[in-house]
Amino acid sequence: MDRFLNPMALAVFLPLLLAVAIYILEQRSWRIRNGLAVASAGISFILLATYLGDVRSGAVIVLELPNVLPPLGLSFRLDYLSMLGGLVVTGVWFLVSVYATEYMIKEHAKKRFYPFLVLTLAGAVGVMLSADLFTFFLFFELMSLSAYVLVVHEESPEAMRAGYKYLIMTIIGGLALFFSIIAVYEMSGSVAFVPGGYLTQGGLLANLAFIGFLVGFGIKAGIVPFHVWLPEAHPVAPSPASALLSGVMLKTGVIGLIRVTHQVFTIDLVRNSNWNTVMLVFASVTIVLGSAVAITEDDIKRRLAYSSIGQMGYILLGIGLLQERAMVGAIFHIFAHAVMKSALFLTAGAVIYRKGKRSVKDWGGIGREMFPTMVVFTIAALSMIGIPPLIGFVSKWELSLGALDNRGYAFVGLLLLSSLMNFVYYFPIIQNAFFGNRKHGEKALNIEAAPAMLVPMIVLACFIVFTALVPGNFALDLARKAAAQLFLYK
Amino acid sequence: MAIIEKLSTNLYYLVAIILFIIGFHTMLTHNNLIKKIMGMNIMDTSLFLFFVSIGYRRGGIAPIIKEGIVEYVNPVPSALILTGIVISLSFTAFALGLVILLYKHYGTLDADKIIAMRSREIG
Amino acid sequence: MVHAPVLIVVTLLLAAFIVPLLYRKLPVAQVVFLLGIVISSIFSIRMAFLVLREGTLTYYLGGWLPPYGIEVVADAFGAYASLVLALISLPISYFVVFAPKEVNTPARYMALILLLMAAMQGMVLAGDLFNLFVFIEICSLSAIAIIAVKGTRDSIEASFRYLVLSALGSGGILFAIALIFMITGHLNMGYVRESLAVTASLYPLNILTALAFIFVGFSVKAAIFPLHVWLPEAHSNAPTASSALLSGLVVKAYLVAFIRIMYMVIGTELFVALPLRPILLILAACAMLVGSTFAIVQNNIKRMLAYSTVAQMGYIVLGLGLFSQRALEGSILHILNHAITKSLLFLAAGVIIKQTGTNRLSDLKGMGRKMPFTFAAFTVGSLSMVGIPGFAGFVSKLYLALGALDIGQIIFAALILVSSLLNATYYFPIVVNAFFGQTEATHQGSDPRKSVMAPLAVFALAVVFMGLFPSVVMPLVRQAAGLLQP
């Protein structure tokens, strides 16, 4: 039993239990429900944070439950990467949950929303902390399927359509992963994540396994051409859910890819089989296409969703370069993009909540009416574009340096082009919001978002501004160490 | 000549197989439900014949040991077939019961007509 | 001598004779019915533990030794099958007693179920071929009867069709037994096997013909593609509990008998020497694809579930054809997992039909909000069928896919994935439409009272439990798979 009473096991399983508790208790009072929903993420965050010191000093905390689901069993591990991932997931989740308690007041079916919100959290935490592919897969599916309920929350015909697409893509992705995992198990007799990797032998099955991983994780991460569900599913979800889908859940896909390419396959195998080239091609297409389509979208949430696709391309680029510096950028961008995109979706949600305006063309003058909200939006957008010293700049900087080390000048150009495109689709919104005019005949309504919504946004904005400024940047530190660990064995 | 000899020694088997095919054919191809059941009975009977003839010895008697008799019939198949007959009987009775119910519901014993009636209702 | 193996069957038979006598006192009959099932289940569980600890149990009826006496053999495989039958029958019997009546003659219905259970238990434990045949016949007859007992036109038509095909199958099996008896002179499985090792090469025609008839006979009974045609009608027109029993247990009991004859009587050597494995693999692949495809186009919930059974039987057959240790484990495990899941789904479907008065899938939109618990149970079953990790169906798929890769058959591992996707395309829309969407429910309906929901809850929990802790039954499964593959 003591295995279940250590903080790490609690961090994984507590949300699972709380999801059930919330479902049972919510008949009693909505206060308990909201409190528990916020607490579940908060407690997990604190539990994980207790390990931060140990992990930063190089300790690896392991938890194994071999009796669940033989022959593979469950196992969890806290290393640099899972520490960063776990903190990002729980931290962002906590802030978004606080935001949701206010935002969801207007929505229906809250009885369903909160338990599934926490269930999805349980899945996401489990994914980040898992120490083998099988555990990863188990929680990945839990997260993906629970998130379906968040996607279709509105239950409008568009939401149902988007949800159906999401569901089918999720299942295809899950099956692709399933195939790859058993292929790995077949080839090596193990599915653990081992530093340095253990699959050295190429061949048909290995190639199929890699394709399976690319498809499975690519679908989740929104890599073109597996992204088709994303621009439909993210906008139709309620804004807090969109923030989590875009900010947190996409990252599980890339975490999986990082783990697979470094801790299952060896780097040599990835390089010799030219899988890194494949990833780079996908990454380039994703970056260009995501940003380009974002320019053409008028609906703010669709624009943000396409922007997410482009940003995931950055991370895939960092993975595909197979280079330590670039990996630092990729891992740091997991943190950076989670914070920035959640902030953007939350601000967009606040505007939609107060004004009901989804089209960016109607956002004229909003900056004057909802000043703090739009400041947060501006900070996040500038960070997206890559203005120093915001965190978006840091990841791009590291990525570019990594690309240069590999003489990948083209990729640096790609990053610059993408920044330019980011500028093209974010800047007009900001300009219009602060300096544009309201539509003719519309009255000014100075209603700022409620504190429960505003505070999480401001906290996120603080992270965007100060993470790179304060000394001892924990995220960058963890990213560096994680990347160093990944490349230790090359 | 050889073939005729072969046939005559295996006559029971041959007849059993022919009966089996007749029963099988009747069961599958006839539309009349009663004939289907008759086909089922013919098929079962052919199997009983087959089974019993496995144990049969020409000139043999029931296996009660007597002086001077060396040829006995193998009693096991016969004993088994008694059970088989009971099973076949209960199957027949049950099938006939179902046929009566079907006739009550549809007013016909023709399988094709029953299917036609059903598909008309669904369509 | 341990009496458990024979007591399992005897208890059920005894109860089957007592229950119809008590038709005037229904509560007493119900008590006897439940007692019969519970006691025989206890014997069955006890036997499973004994077998696990001490190896194969044999019982000689009346103390007569084979080859003259009748032998009851409880090896790991038989004990496992018996355990599955016992465990699944418990909640279903509870459902029979406590759910709203669908049958006008409940005492007779309960007697038939007892008879069916006795026959199935006998079938998986029988040690000689002729007793196996007798139990097969009892099983066929009572299986047909528990469909016809509903009394509607469709159910009688379906049961008649089932009867005709079933009789064909029985004929084939009896013919095959006769052929085997002809060349070996034995009916006891152990002796037949020993004798076949010598005589099979002397009479190759006999043994080939026998194999063909066994194959066809059991294909009909166990609804192996393409002889599954009777199944959708029969399973969808039966009373709820019957559907669950038929889809969950009856087809599997036949399959267990088939496996026993093929692998343990005919013998693995012959089985491997003949091109039976490719045939099984192709049939399994067709079953998985065709069954699922037909299930997609159904609008009747129970017929959809019945076609899904055809596809799922394909999984079990696939493992038999793949024939690697892990694939066999997957097959044997899927016998249990599918039994739990399909029983759950059929019971849930029965409750849904009863409460809403419609069996059309298109009418179930939005009903999840009115009957949340029933549909939650249905959802659990669906997730298991699709093979979502954490649910029972996933574990068997995992073993099957690993088994396929073990012998380098990537294509069959891929087939399992495709089939899972097909499963998702017909199970998930039901769940999604029931819970989500703006369409208002067109039918009345609500969750039934708790006593009716209890079996569903038990099955749903069992699905999750088996999904997370399959290690509970794995020792027995591993032993059973080891028996099939010496």
Residue A1: predicted pLDDT: 46
Q: How many CB atoms lie within 10 A of CB A413?
A: 12
Distance CA A85, CA A248 (A): 9
Chain C residues touching residue B23 (CB < 8 angstroms): 171
**Would you call C464 an interface residue with chain A, using a CB distance cutoff of 8 Å?**
no
Please report, rounded to a whole number, the percentage of residues in chain C having pLDDT higher than 70.
100
Residue B34: give the domain boundaries: 2-122
**Would you call C163 an interface residue with chain B, using a CB distance cutoff of 8 Å?**
yes
Tell me the per-residue pLDDT of C246-278, one tens digit each, with 9 for 90 and over: 999 999 999 999 998 888 888 777 777 788 888
Residue for token pair 């091109």:
C275
C209 to chain B, closest Cα gap in Å: 12
Least confident of B27-36, B71-80, C224-233, C405-414: B71-80
Test the B interface: residue of C160, C230, C236 with most B CBs within 10 Å: C160
Helix (H, G, I), strand (E, B) or coil at A58: coil
- Greatest mean pLDDT among A423-427, A473-477, C99-103 lies in A423-427
What are the CA-CA distances from residue C391 to residues A299, C308, C430, C470 (Å)? Answer: 39, 17, 18, 10
pLDDT (average), residues A317-342: 92
What are the CA-CA distances from residue C375 to residues A41, A135, C445, C460 (Å)? Answer: 29, 28, 12, 11
Residue for token pair 């240790």:
C325
Interface contact C436-A68, CB threshold 8 A: no
B101 to chain C, closest Cα gap in Å: 7
Distance CA C268, CA C99 (A): 45
Tell me the per-residue pLDDT of A229-277, one tens digit each, with 9 for 90 and over: 999 998 899 999 999 999 899 999 999 999 999 999 998 899 888 999 9
- Dihedral sign for Cα C234, C239, C240, C242, please: negative
Burial A179-193 (b: 16+ CB within 10 A, else e): bbbbbbbbbbeebbb
Question: In chain A, where are the structural domains located?
Answer: 2-486
Chains sharing 3 or more CB pairs under 8 A with chain B: C
**Would you call C153 an interface residue with chain B, using a CB distance cutoff of 8 Å?**
yes
The answer to whether A256 and A213 are in contact (CB under 8 A) is: yes
Chain B residues touching residue C145 (CB < 8 angstroms): 94
Tell me the per-residue pLDDT of C428-445, one tens digit each, with 9 for 90 and over: 999 998 888 777 777 788
Interface contact C178-B23, CB threshold 8 A: no
Residue B76 sits in a domain whose CATH number is 1.10.287.3510
- Res. C81 pLDDT band, cuts 50 70 90: very high
pLDDT (average), residues C411-429: 92
Task: Name the residue with higher pLDDT: A442 or A59.
Answer: A59
Chain C residues touching residue A174 (CB < 8 angstroms): 388
Distance CA A298, CA A124 (A): 31
Report yes or no on chains C and A touching (3+ CB pairs under 8 A).
Answer: yes
Of A141, A168, A204, the CB nearest to C389: A141
**Pairs across A and C, CB distance < 8 A:** 76
Q: Which residue of C has its CA nearest to B118?
A: C154
Interface contact A168-C395, CB threshold 8 A: no
Test the B interface: residue of C64, C138, C181, C209 with most B CBs within 10 Å: C181
Tell me the per-residue pLDDT of B31-68, one tens digit each, with 9 for 90 and over: 899 999 999 999 999 999 998 888 877 777 777 777 77
Chain A residues touching residue C467 (CB < 8 angstroms): 69
Residue A442 pLDDT greater than 70, yes or no:
no
State the average pLDDT for chain A.
88
pTM, two decimals, is 0.92
Chain B residues touching residue C130 (CB < 8 angstroms): 80, 83
Chain C residues touching residue A137 (CB < 8 angstroms): 389
The answer to whether C344 and C460 are in contact (CB under 8 A) is: yes
Residue A167: predicted pLDDT: 92
Amino acid identity, position C480: A
Chain A residues touching residue C410 (CB < 8 angstroms): 204-205, 208
Least confident of A220-229, A352-361, C399-408: A352-361
Please state the φ and ψ torsions of residue C15, each to the nearest 5 degrees. Answer: -60, -40
**Would you call A113 an interface residue with chain C, using a CB distance cutoff of 8 Å?**
no
Residue in A18, A24, A20 with CA at minimum distance from that of residue A37: A18
**Would you call C438 an interface residue with chain A, using a CB distance cutoff of 8 Å?**
yes
The answer to whether B41 and B18 are in contact (CB under 8 A) is: no
**Would you call B57 an interface residue with chain C, using a CB distance cutoff of 8 Å?**
no
Residue A490: predicted pLDDT: 59
Tell me the per-residue pLDDT of A405-422, one tens digit each, with 9 for 90 and over: 888 888 999 999 999 999
**Pairs across B and C, CB distance < 8 A:** 75
State the average pLDDT for chain C.
90
Distance CA B20, CA B43 (A): 5
The answer to whether A62 and A47 are in contact (CB under 8 A) is: no
Helix (H, G, I), strand (E, B) or coil at A172: helix
Longest dimension (CA), chain A: 70
The answer to whether C386 and C393 are in contact (CB under 8 A) is: yes
Chain C residues touching residue A147 (CB < 8 angstroms): none
* Cα separation of the two ends of chain A: 39
Chain B residues touching residue C150 (CB < 8 angstroms): none
Report yes or no on chains B and C touching (3+ CB pairs under 8 A).
Answer: yes
State the average pLDDT for chain B.
86
Interface contact C156-B51, CB threshold 8 A: no
Interface contact C471-A67, CB threshold 8 A: yes
**Would you call A449 an interface residue with chain C, using a CB distance cutoff of 8 Å?**
no
Element spanning A76, H or E? strand A74-78
- Res. A441 pLDDT band, cuts 50 70 90: low
**Would you call A65 an interface residue with chain C, using a CB distance cutoff of 8 Å?**
no
**Would you call C187 an interface residue with chain B, using a CB distance cutoff of 8 Å?**
yes
Tell me the per-residue pLDDT of A86-102, one tens digit each, with 9 for 90 and over: 999 999 999 999 999 88
Q: What is the dihedral of CA A398, A400, A401, A402, to 10 degrees?
A: 80
Q: How many CB atoms lie within 10 A of CB C315?
A: 27
pLDDT (average), residues C110-131: 92
Residue in C302, C291, C287, C284 with CA at minimum distance from that of residue C409: C284
Residue in C126, C121, C151, C303 with CA at minimum distance from that of residue C229: C303
Long-range contacts of A160-165 (CB under 8 A, 24+ apart): A160/C432, A160/C436, A160/C437, A161/A232, A162/A229, A162/A232, A162/A233, A162/A235, A162/A236, A163/A233, A163/A236, A163/C432, A163/C436, A164/C429, A164/C432, A165/A228, A165/A229, A165/A232, A165/A233
Q: Which residue of A has its CA nearest to C425?
A: A168
pLDDT (average), residues C300-319: 93
CA A279-A254-A267 angle, to 5 degrees, is 55
Test the A interface: residue of C415, C417, C472, C476 with most A CBs within 10 Å: C417
- Total domains in chain B come to 1
Test the C interface: residue of B24, B30, B54 with most C CBs within 10 Å: B54
Burial A385-401 (b: 16+ CB within 10 A, else e): bbeeebbbbbbbbbbbe
Chain A residues touching residue C468 (CB < 8 angstroms): 68-69
Please state the φ and ψ torsions of residue A313, each to the nearest 5 degrees. Answer: -60, -40
Test the C interface: residue of A127, A132, A171 with most C CBs within 10 Å: A171
Interface contact C436-A160, CB threshold 8 A: yes
Interface contact C410-A168, CB threshold 8 A: no
Residue A399 pLDDT greater than 80, yes or no:
yes
